[in-house]
């Protein structure tokens, strides 16, 4: 791995660690990646920029979705000059040592810091109501890191809830795949529930996993119906942990928080994605909670919550199903 960029530890863990806002010990990154280490395709042929062992804590900076083509002073007139070629700059890929196809990569989001500005827009031809909204429109926002609020108007304020719109591992292909749709490797999931404290499980398809992250959103509603969130530069601190011989049912990313477990499923329609999500939750319940398929199916009906993560990233939509850990007796 001579081509890999070696990054030294940023700091040393002292016995008296600073505390986070939630009262837990602050997680100190061991490696850092600037936003300049970027690409915007999915492929096993994209060379990694960092190699880490399982359990590594990584700090990654990401650019906003247009890769600096827009800024806080941009106007709607600037949208005509936005090229879609560099859309979704992803920081990475990160090579996880000993990762092999069939393994699972667990990515825990420890800290997400929003940049000081963001934008949201309507691009002609894009969005769930593309046939209705045919003119470009742009809103930019200054973001106060201490206030943690988007001032949408004089009256309307939206609390920030940052997450990565795009993250995932490399697919087993030499082709350079677009970052626009969600896929089995992750990709543009645009799921606003993958916030701080969430652990996401990715099936590994290639040696080293080759994890990348980007398309950071300061806030987004379920569905992302206009086609954009509040797109913002961001800082992520996350742990990369390799799981071997676990979750044999994992076909697409799944995730969990302290409160619930969730499956994700992509498809060309809500109907197809929803059926996949229900089946994935049944497989999880059978494998991890010793239920029969019939009991698992009924439990999905009684306690499973279907959610539409996004409906705009053609050709695929993403549906999730959540189930409470309290219901499952594991909280």
CB-based contact 60:236 (threshold 8 Å): yes
Q: Give CA–CA dist 236/58, Å, rounded.
A: 8
Candidates 3.40.640.10, 3.30.70.1290, 3.40.600.10, 2.60.120.580; CATH matching 31-248: 2.60.120.580
Q: What is the pLDDT of residue 331?
A: 86
CB-based contact 196:108 (threshold 8 Å): no
CB-based contact 213:198 (threshold 8 Å): no
How much is the pTM? 0.92
Q: Is 271 helix (H, G, I), strand (E, B) or coil?
A: helix
Which among 249, 172, 166 has a CA at the least distance from the CA of 204? 172
Q: Give CA–CA dist 166/180, Å, rounded.
A: 9
Which among 205, 221, 180 has a CA at the least distance from the CA of 96? 205
Tens of each residue's pLDDT in the chain, 331 residues = 444 443 333 333 333 455 556 667 889 999 999 999 999 999 999 999 999 999 999 999 999 999 999 999 999 999 999 999 999 999 999 999 999 999 999 999 999 999 999 999 999 999 999 999 999 999 999 999 899 999 999 999 999 999 999 999 999 999 999 999 999 999 999 999 999 999 999 999 999 999 999 999 999 999 999 999 999 999 999 999 999 999 999 999 999 999 999 999 999 999 999 999 999 999 999 999 999 999 999 999 999 999 999 999 999 999 999 999 999 999 8
Q: What is the pLDDT of residue 8?
A: 34
Per-domain boundaries in the chain: 31-248
């Amino acid at each position: 791995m001579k081509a890999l960029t070696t990054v030294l530890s940023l700091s040393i863990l002292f016995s008296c660690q600073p505390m986070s806002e939630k009262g837990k010990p602050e997680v100190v990154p061991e490696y850092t990646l600037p936003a300049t280490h970027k690409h915007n395709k999915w492929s096993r042929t994209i060379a990694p920029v960092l190699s880490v062992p399982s359990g590594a804590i990584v700090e990654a900076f990401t650019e906003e979705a247009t890769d600096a083509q827009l800024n806080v002073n941009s106007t709607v007139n600037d949208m005509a000059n936005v090229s879609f070629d560099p859309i979704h700059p992803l920081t990475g890929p990160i090579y996880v040592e000993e990762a092999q196809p069939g393994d699972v990569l667990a990515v825990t989001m420890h800290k997400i810091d929003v940049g000081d500005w963001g934008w949201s827009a309507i691009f002609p031809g894009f969005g769930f109501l593309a046939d209705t909204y045919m003119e470009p429109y742009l809103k930019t926002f200054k973001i106060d890191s201490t206030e943690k609020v988007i001032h949408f108007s004089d009256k309307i304020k939206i609390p920030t809830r940052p997450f990565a719109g795009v993250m995932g591992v490399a697919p087993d292909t030499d082709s350079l795949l677009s970052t626009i749709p969600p896929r089995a490797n992750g990709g543009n999931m645009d799921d606003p529930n993958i916030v701080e404290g969430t652990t996401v499980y990715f099936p590994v398809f290639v040696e080293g996993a080759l994890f990348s992250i980007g398309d950071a959103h300061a806030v987004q509603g379920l569905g992302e119906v206009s086609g954009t969130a509040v797109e913002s530069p961001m800082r992520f601190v996350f742990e990369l942990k390799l799981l071997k011989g676990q979750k044999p049912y994992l076909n697409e990313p799944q995730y969990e928080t302290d409160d619930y477990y969730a499956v994700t499923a992509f498809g060309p329609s809500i109907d197809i994605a929803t059926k996949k999500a229900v089946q994935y939750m049944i497989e999880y319940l059978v494998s991890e909670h010793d239920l029969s398929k019939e009991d698992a199916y009924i439990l999905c009906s009684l306690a499973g919550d279907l959610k539409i993560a996004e409906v705009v990233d053609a050709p695929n939509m993403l549906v999730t199903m959540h189930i409470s850990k309290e219901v499952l007796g594991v909280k």
